[in-house]
Amino acid sequence: MLFNTAQFFAFFAAVLLLFYTLPWFAARKWLLLVASYYFYASWNVNFVPLLLTLTLVDYFCARWIEKSAKPRVALIISLSANLGFLAFFKYTNFLASQVTQLTGQPARVFDIVLPLGISFHTFQSISYIVDVYRGQQTAVRSLPDYALFIAFFPQLVAGPIVRARDFFRDLLAWQAPSGEEIRLGAWLMLLGLTKKMAFADRFAIVADGYFGNPVPGQWTAITATLAFGLQIFFDFSGYTDMAIGMAKLLGFHFPENFRRPYLASSITDFWRRWHISLSSWLRDYLYIPLGGSRHGSWRTYRNLLLTMLLGGLWHGASWNFVVWGGYHGLLLGVERAARLDEPRGWLRLPRLALTFVLVMLGWVFFRANGWEASQFVLHEIFLGSRGAGLLNAWQCGLALGALLMALAEDRWAVTERLARGPAWLYVPAFALMGLVLEIFGVFDQAIPFVYFQF
């Protein structure tokens, strides 16, 4: 069930109605668990045993860690199970293709379907088991509670990556959402749906058309790359808004995952604003364990590069993703070496523009279908003949409107003011967003969310 379909909204409405009809919270937890597994099974019921297996392994390993004098064995078992399944489903055929290229001998290709959300629930599981090992999280006693933490349907597919301490704080001391939270949750769901269907899907038509078959032309390549940059932001932040909104309506509080990333003044600043739950995960469970910045400059640069290379590979089994991660790692290292200060006033504008351009160039590796396609697109961006732009007047207007909204949010914190404002303010806000969705929304096709493939 895609979030942007009538089927999903009917499902969520039924869950919401039943959740607040049931008189006991224990029954409500079971409802959420059953609904989450139903949601997961609706994609591919064959992967339900996989989700159950990983849940059981991590649950018992965490209990083992707390009780054992040698907890490292349990930690290794848990990490091996999570990373082993992830590696098999995501990287087997990629590794086989690399063996073929190196040896010239054909390797067996498996008919492997990537389980829904495996990258996200794997990272969520790892953060839990590592926190228990570090003594920063107590092992969960209730198996159904832990199963709900892993499978909770609003964020199961594409995050945000929720830490166990945050989820169980809400679950074990659950409180009904206030009127303000209900209004804000509904607003975030509508906002996310509009971002997806009226913005992301409009730009997806351009980006998919071009990157499916790149053609010569400098302006053509530039506008197609810009279209994808806008698509992936509105697509992923739209999903996140909907996930956070749904969680609020159910009495849970997910962390912020996007903070106007295209207004970043550096690549370092960009990663403080883009996919925040992933960047903080990479920092806490990869960069710092590698040594962080504790052992001199060169090791710091090495750790940055390794973290971003692995972060790129996490996104997909392709050298393009590795190059994309390495590209960001190199830029982060250059910025750290240059000791750039945060610019102020008008001096911030050139840095904003440069950062935006650098991020857009990185998206070429992320989106292009292979290394040769990436080289072609970059060649056209820098050396191609002029060509024709691909964005029409409506799409340019959407991009300009998005920029103005981002600047307004950055300057006046519109969403926060709306959340604290009187209830009647939501009427014109909902009406305006509904109008934008009606005018620009893509309703004739259900375009999947970009991060559903990860």
Q: Do residue 191 and residue 89 come from a single domain?
A: no
113 against 168, higher pLDDT: 168
Given pLDDT bands bounded at 50, 70 and 90, which one contains residue 214? very high
Quick one: 69 and 197 in the same domain?
no
Residue 285 forms part of a structural domain: no
- Going by C-beta distance under 8 Å and a sequence separation of 6 or more, which residues neighbour residue 373? 211, 214
Q: Output the pLDDT for position 124.
A: 95
Note whether 197 and 242 are same-domain residues. yes
Residue 424's SS3 state is: helix
315 token code pair:
């996104």
Residues 158 and 261 in one domain: no
For 260: left if phi > 0, alpha if psi spans -120 to 50, otherwise beta; the answer is left
For position 107, what pLDDT does the model report? 67
Any domain includes 225: yes
Is 281 among the domain residues?
no
In-domain check, residue 337: no
- Give the catalytic positions in this structure: 315
Residue 134 token pair: 């570090």
Q: How large is the average pLDDT for residues 223-246? A: 95
Write out pLDDT tens, residues 77-91: 999 999 999 999 999
Last residue of a domain, one of 116, 139, 174: 174
CA distance to 308, 321, 346, per residue, from 224 (Å): 25, 19, 29
Q: Tell me which residue of 164, 188, 181 sits closest to 3, measured CA to CA.
A: 188
pTM: 0.93
Identity (one letter) of the amino acid at 315? Answer: H
Q: How far apart are CA 151 and CA 137, in angstroms?
A: 19
Flag whether pLDDT at 391 surpasses 70. yes
pLDDT at residue 411 greater than cutoff 70: yes
Alpha-carbon torsion (134, 137, 139, 144), positive or negative: negative
pLDDT for 5: 87
Same domain, yes or no: 153 and 81 = yes
> Cα–Cα distance between 230 and 440 in angstroms, integer?
15
Residue 175 burial (CB < 10 Å; 0-12/13-18/19+)?
exposed
Q: CB–CB of 121/156 below 8 Å?
A: yes
Residue 294 resides in a domain: no
pLDDT, mean of residues 300-305: 95
pLDDT at 19: 97
104 with 33, same domain?
yes
Q: Say yes or no to pLDDT of 281 above 80.
A: yes
* Alpha-carbon span 428 to 324, nearest angstrom: 41
Q: What is the DSSP string of 188-241?
A: HHHHHHHIIIIIIHHHHHHHHHHHHS--S-HHHHHHHHHHHHHHHHHHHHHHHH
Residues 137 and 218 both lie in one domain? no
Residue 439, token pair as written in the block:
């005018």
Q: Percentage of the chain surpassing pLDDT 90?
A: 70
Range in 150-164, 346-360, 419-433 with the lowest mean pLDDT: 419-433
CA distance 236 to 162: 16
The pLDDT score that the predictor gives to residue 425 is 82
Burial (CB count <10 Å: 0-12, 13-18, 19+), residue 361:
middle
How many domains does one find in the chain? 2
Q: What is the pLDDT of residues 30-57, one digit of tens each?
A: 999 999 999 999 988 999 999 999 999 9
Answer yes or no: is pLDDT of 271 > 90. yes
What per-residue confidence (pLDDT) applies to 223?
A: 96
For residue 188, give the nearest of 238, 222, 225 by alpha carbon. Answer: 238
Q: Last residue of a domain, which of 111, 146, 174? A: 174
In a domain, 384, yes or no: yes
How would residue 416 be classed by pLDDT, with cut points 50, 70 and 90?
A: confident
Band of the pLDDT at 317, cuts 50, 70, 90?
Answer: confident
**Angle of helix 218-249 versus helix 201-212 axis, rounded to 10:** 140
Give the model's pLDDT for residue 417.
78
Q: Which of 174, 203, 223 is the last residue of a domain?
A: 174
Q: Are residues 121 and 223 in the same domain?
A: no
Query: What digits encode the pLDDT tens for the residues 436-448?
Result: 889 888 888 778 8
Q: Cα(405)–Cα(263) distance, rounded to whole angstroms? A: 12
Give the structural domain span for 14: 6-174
The confidence band for 208, taking pLDDT boundaries of 50, 70 and 90, is: very high
Exposed/middle/buried for 259, CB within 10 Å: 0-12, 13-18, 19+? middle
Number of H helices, E strands in the chain: 21, 0
pLDDT of residue 420 exceeding 80, the answer is no
CA torsion angle 44 48 49 55 (round to 10): 140
Same domain, 254 and 164: no
- 327 lies in a domain? no
Same domain for 65 and 207, yes or no, is no
What's the whole-number mean pLDDT along residues 320-335? 96
* For residues 103-132, average pLDDT: 85
* Same domain assignment for residues 149 and 187: no
Here the tokens at position 195 are 């971002």
Is 283 within a domain? no
Q: Are residues 156 and 192 in the same domain?
A: no
